[in-house]
Amino acid sequence: MKQDPADADVISHKLMLRAGIIRQLASGLYTWLPLGLRVLRKIETIIRQEMDATGAQELLMPVVQPAELWQDSGRWEKMGPEMARLQDRHERDFCLGPTHEEVITDLFRREIQSYKELPVNFYQIQTKFRDERRPRFGVMRAREFTMKDAYSFHADQESFDATYQEMYNCYSRILTRMQLDFRAVEADSGNIGGSNSHEFNVLAASGEDTIVYASNGPYAANIEKAEAAAPAARPAASQNMAVVDTPEDKTIAAICQRLNITPDTTVKTLLVRGEEGPIAIILRGDHDLNEIKAGKLPGISQPLSFCTDAEIKKATGVSAGSLGPVNAQVPYLVDREAAALADFVCGANIESQHFTGVNWERDCALEAHQIVDARNVVEGDTAPDGQGELRFLKGIEVGHIFQLGTVYSAAMDANVLDKDGHSLTPIMGCYGMGVTRLVAAVIEQNHDDNGICWPTPLAPFQLHLIALNYQKSDAVKAAADDLYDKCQALGIEVLFDERDERPGVKFADADLIGLPHRIVVGDRGLKNNCVEYKTRRDEKATECSLDTVLDNLTE
């Protein structure tokens, strides 16, 4: 494509359309064109080689999965509209596999009966379907996509830990071979379940994930998961509580302006739905709620949802902007940083009034409530392990490894016999990597104003061979055909541009497609038995002897 496509928001999506890597069939559904498929296959090959090297075994499970297995695991009802469901001609329920824990656990329970056969690690590279609410960024958040997913089963924690570490290392090797700048961080395990997990993020400004890392220490986590460090000790109370009228002040910013204070001396009160009615979560005024962490707090209804204005009014008698911990009508949870304030400002639980100089024990009976970690960390926070300050980066999640424990093996009765003949519920891990998404991530990190700059291991071809005036010049045709044949003989993957197009068009297309090496054969150079050679990243081409130019590639 000559023009930037109108409907592409991120650079990788634009370049994938323009360079003929993909075409959209429907929202979130993409056809991989010949050039793109070659990249996809190279990524798959690297993944396969590294997975095989760990002793994992490749298999292939169906895309369409029967509902019964998901009922067994308890996820048939739990999975939302993201899971696409269908009925067969006999009205039996099926889904398009968004993931394969159920299928592999079913296979395991039918095939593996003894601890002696453990550990095992099975993987596949297969199509997945997730009916995203808002597919976007091309293959970065598509509905149908290719994923490498692996599942391991273990007789004990030690065996699991070793494989989890091995997968962590394997993922690092895979992404290193792809020449990607990435970070492995602690992450939330979402609806896959289990306890700990690590995400592998490729760094990119367009990334949807915020990665938190310590400036001077080992801590790294997705912001969804990142713990806040314990706050400094609370100062002593120094003010008396007083009431101020705050008519029409609906926001923290408005209150701060009226009182000439900063938000970090205020608290805000959010009402969410709890199992036994509304629960308030109280944060320092300058902090944001972390919905993932908050969703796991005691008493909160799953999934986390906010009370409507009507529900707030009914539960408290006032509207959202006037809520606060003094004389609270509902139970509340206090974020640690909010709990570390003294002499703070908060809503008065009276319409259009706030309190100043509030102190927890004195004014709010804090001891009856829980202090929790419910906020998003912010840049500059101390790392939770105390080593360094937190910094943020944007990343694209390309891999995620999960510690599943016995969530699936227990729910699905996938037990084996241990050495004493007793039943043993295996510990499981699962290890996902987004194959199609990786192509976009690679481009996000490897492009310039003119197009893609493929890393050598992933380039669809190694060499762009451009013949100028090929249709009319016998000399060009002879030299270019000869180079092409030599490339074939040497096993150099070559894309041969012998189109009847202007040189400018050909050069622009070569930059757009972004193969690592470019050779241009033209009449002018051939007079001296020369061609032009450059790498994709070189500014200028150099004259090379026709006889030795391929040495640049074979070396």
The site for a copy of itself (CB under 8 A) is made up of 23, 25-26, 29-34, 37, 40, 57-66, 81-82, 84-86, 88-89, 94, 96, 103, 106-107, 110-111, 122, 127, 129, 131, 133, 143-144
For the bound state, the minimum distance from the C-beta of residue 62 to a copy of itself, rounded and expressed in Å, comes to 4
Nearby residues of 439 by Cβ (< 8 Å), 6 or more positions away: 12, 16, 21, 36, 39, 40, 43, 139
What is d(CA 128, CA 157) in angstroms, rounded to the nearest whole number? 30
For the bound state, the minimum distance from the C-beta of residue 44 to a copy of itself, rounded and expressed in Å, comes to 11
Maximum alpha-carbon separation in the chain: 95
280/443 with CB nearer a copy of itself: 443
User: Tokens 């509905």 map to which residue?
Assistant: 143
Q: For residue 407, which phi and psi values (nearest 5 degrees)?
A: -50, -50
For the bound state, the minimum distance from the C-beta of residue 488 to a copy of itself, rounded and expressed in Å, comes to 12
The first and second tokens of residue 23, run together, are 């075409």
Q: For residue 26, which phi and psi values (nearest 5 degrees)?
A: -160, 175
348/412 with CB nearer a copy of itself: 412
Nearest to 279 by CA among 262, 303, 297: 297
111/539 with CB nearer a copy of itself: 111
What is d(CA 464, CA 536) in angstroms, rounded to the nearest whole number? 10
14/354 with CB nearer a copy of itself: 14
What is d(CA 545, CA 522) in angstroms, rounded to the nearest whole number? 13
Alpha-carbon 140 to chain mean position: 9
What is d(CA 347, CA 177) in angstroms, rounded to the nearest whole number? 55
91/449 with CB nearer a copy of itself: 91
For the bound state, the minimum distance from the C-beta of residue 181 to a copy of itself, rounded and expressed in Å, comes to 28
User: For 229-339, where are the alpha helices, taking DSSP H only?
Assistant: 252-259, 291-295, 309-316, 336-339
Given a contact cutoff of 8 angstroms between Cβ atoms, the answer to whether 282 and 269 are in contact is yes
For the bound state, the minimum distance from the C-beta of residue 148 to a copy of itself, rounded and expressed in Å, comes to 14
Given a contact cutoff of 8 angstroms between Cβ atoms, the answer to whether 452 and 443 are in contact is yes
For the bound state, the minimum distance from the C-beta of residue 24 to a copy of itself, rounded and expressed in Å, comes to 10
The helix or strand, by DSSP H or E, that contains position 120, with its residue range, turns out to be strand 120-129
Angle at 121 between CA 119 and CA 127, to 5 degrees: 160
For the bound state, the minimum distance from the C-beta of residue 65 to a copy of itself, rounded and expressed in Å, comes to 7
**Strand intervals (E) in 350-389:** 353-358, 370-372
For the bound state, the minimum distance from the C-beta of residue 37 to a copy of itself, rounded and expressed in Å, comes to 5
What is d(CA 293, CA 228) in angstroms, rounded to the nearest whole number? 11
113/215 with CB nearer a copy of itself: 113
The first and second tokens of residue 61, run together, are 């499970």
36/325 with CB nearer a copy of itself: 36
133/362 with CB nearer a copy of itself: 133
Residue 141 DSSP label: B
80/218 with CB nearer a copy of itself: 80
167/282 with CB nearer a copy of itself: 167
For the bound state, the minimum distance from the C-beta of residue 178 to a copy of itself, rounded and expressed in Å, comes to 20
Q: For residue 517, which phi and psi values (nearest 5 degrees)?
A: -125, 145
Burial 73-95 (b: 16+ CB within 10 A, else e): bebbeebeeebbeeeeeeeeebb
The first and second tokens of residue 516, run together, are 């690592």
For the bound state, the minimum distance from the C-beta of residue 57 to a copy of itself, rounded and expressed in Å, comes to 4
The first and second tokens of residue 512, run together, are 């757009």
500/555 with CB nearer a copy of itself: 500
Given a contact cutoff of 8 angstroms between Cβ atoms, the answer to whether 148 and 160 are in contact is no
